[in-house]
Structure 1
Amino acid sequence: MFTGLVQKKAIVASTNQTESGVRLVISCIKWETPIEHGESICTSGCCLTVVDFYEEKGNLTLSFDVVPETLRCTTLGTFSEGTQINLERSLRADSLLGGHFVQGHIDGVERVLEIESTVTGERRLRFTLEAVDCDTIISKGSITIEGVSLTIAEVGDTWFEVVLVPTTINETTLGAVEVGDSVNIESDILTRTIVQVARKMQKK
């Protein structure tokens, strides 16, 4: 479980094919508290397990095994050397919940349709609404895009919008997205659960 508050940006060091998928190796500045083998880390929205790591001169190198299903359902299959990604370690019981509950389970991949910058420094992004269940995307509800917890600003029949504040623009990879880019989307678990339960009740 995560919060959607990105802690670090990292860079992909390598991606290598394996018998079970892809070995993803990334590099970032190390955290103050040590990383543990088997720890879960939200990697641009996807919950991945640390299979290997080492530290050197303040830098941290992490390795993950990405299975074919994850490669198929997320943007991780497009990662290459130099790709920037967002990282967040898993939520502790005594952590502040500044964003919203994030599982790290991607619902689908959507594309950037429009980007509009405002005079006050914010940036409004419009995305397609094709792969994700539209009933779980509601105005003023929560959504996770590339591992970033955001509030949905507006929803149309085939699109939705969010607004990025300068901190999000500067400290996450969303500040570098361009029209046409694909992004990982996770809808709010509470909204998704309510929608699924309501549908089951209607069938009875």
Structure 2
Amino acid sequence: MFTGIVEEIGKIQSIKKGGKSSVITVQGDKIFGDIHIGDSIAVNGVCLTVATFSNNNFIADIMNETLSKSTLGSLKNGSDVNLERAMSANRRFGGHIVSGHIDGVGEITKIQKDDNAIWYTVKAEDNLMKYIVEKGSIAIDGISLTVARVDNIQFSVSIIPHTAQETILSHRQIGDNVNLENDIIGKYVEKLITFENKKKDYNNITREFLMMNGY
């Protein structure tokens, strides 16, 4: 489990591609103060397991499912990546609940400066957009951010200078793809209130469904 507060920007040292999988070596600094084999580290928001490590790099396996659902397949030697170790019990919870399990990929459609802030607009598919609400939480490349604006096809976030400096979001350009993880609470709520009704051919939460259940 992560918080979406990026600890440092790391760098891809090497990538070994298999038929449908990859092995990557990631270089860093801060996170190696407390790292062990088997630890979880979020790389651009994707939870990876440390297979081996040295003083300043770790190796992780990436399976086909992860490559198909995220942007990790487009990484190259020298690519910068956001890094965050799994949350510890005695650490402040500064972001929101982030699992490191990417829901899909979005595309940056607009970047606009607003005094000291920068607005990023991201377009996403319907299966992602339905969980994104104004003032709700979203993880973009593992960064915990607050949704400022949203419509049916895209959403916008506004980032402060500190976030720009400490993450790779400031490296992104219009047309770039980013990893998206929706707020996990919304997904659990949907599952709980639709599970039984899906057996009765209810595919979505409708006005009629809410009225039938006392809302």
Report the TM-score range of the alignment, normalised by the length of the smaller protein.
over 0.9
Q: Superposition RMSD on alpha carbons, in Å?
A: 1.5
1:166 to 161, 173, 195: 161
- Shift of residue 30 of structure 1? 3.9
1:152 aligns with 2:147: yes
For the residue of structure 1 that corresponds to 2:51, the secondary structure is: strand
Identity %: 35
Higher strand share: 1
Provide the rounded CA distance (Å) in 2 between the counterparts of 1:50 and 1:88.
12
User: Residues 77-92 of structure 1: matches in 2 within 5 Å?
Assistant: 77-92=73-88
Q: 1:136–1:195: 8 Å Cα contact kept in structure 2? A: no
Aligned to 2:24: 24
2:102 maps to which of 93, 106, 110: 106
Query: Structure 2 vs 1, CA of residues 190 and 197 (structure 1 numbering), >3 Å: closer, same or farther?
Result: same
Q: Are 1:63 and 2:33 an aligned pair?
A: no
Q: Is 1:133 matched up with 2:128? A: yes
In the superposition, the TM-score normalised over structure 1's length comes to 0.93
Is 1:192 the counterpart of 2:187? The answer is yes
Structure showing greater radius of gyration is 2
2:8–2:30 contact (8 Å) kept in structure 1: no
Match of 1:12 in 2: 12
Q: 1:201 to 1:141 in 2, by over 3 A?
A: farther
What SS does the corresponding residue of 2:108 show, helix, strand or coil? strand
CA shift digits 1:50-90 (9 cap, x unpaired):
001111xxxx1111000111111100000111111000000
Distance in 2, Cα, partners of 1:181 & 1:122: 20
User: Is the 8 Å Cα contact of residues 135 and 195 (structure 1) preserved in structure 2?
Assistant: no
Would you say how many aligned residue pairs link Structure 1 and Structure 2? 199
Are the equivalent residues in 2 in contact too, given 1:111–1:127 (CA < 8 A)? Answer: yes
1:119-162 CA-partner distances (Å, limit 9, x unpaired): 2x100110002164322100000010000000000111111111
Aligned residue identity for 1:22: S
